[in-house]
Each structure stands twice: as structure tokens, then as C-alpha cells.
Amino acid sequence: MSSMLKQIRLDAGKSLNQVSSDLKIRKKYLVALEEGDFDVLPGEVYVRGYLKIIFRLSQCERSQYSADRSNKTE
């Protein structure tokens, strides 16, 4: 899952600092999620929340990408 989280961020074209700022998640927690270092992370409820937010970023980026592609082909 860690590599998938990093890939989501990279696909969105965002740095760790940008994602941290946009999603209001501490950078050290994003790094821990991407590296699979779960000992650094806060409680499970926070981690679940972070994952939901990150996956929403993925969906938003995909939706935006699809919209951009549609506009270019028209």
C-alpha cells in the first residue's frame, strides 16, 4: 500500500510539501505512510482518515484529468 500512496501523489504531480499543505496532514505522517513506517503514525482512526483524504485526492485528480482530456478532444 505504501508504494501505491506514493504513486497517487506522484500521479497528481504534487510534492510532499504540497500534499501536506493541501490536505492538512503533517509531512512526517505522509512520509511514514509512503515508507510503511507505521510506528511514527498516530492512532488508527487518524490513519484511516488520512487514507480517505489521500484517496479522495486521487479521485479528484482523475476527474480533473478526464475533464481536461475531454476538453482537449472537443
Q: What is the mean pLDDT of residues 13-29?
A: 92
pTM of the model: 0.71
Per CATH, the number for 2-73 is 1.10.260
pLDDT at 60 exceeding the cut of 60? no
Distances (CA, A) of 34 to 10, 40, 69: 11, 12, 29
Rounded to 5 degrees, φ, ψ at 48 are -60, -45
pLDDT at 69 exceeding the cut of 50? no
Q: What is the pLDDT of residue 66?
A: 44
Q: Which has the closest alpha carbon to 49: 16, 26, 73, 18?
A: 26
Digit-coded pLDDT (tens) for 24-55: 999 999 999 999 898 999 988 988 898 888 88
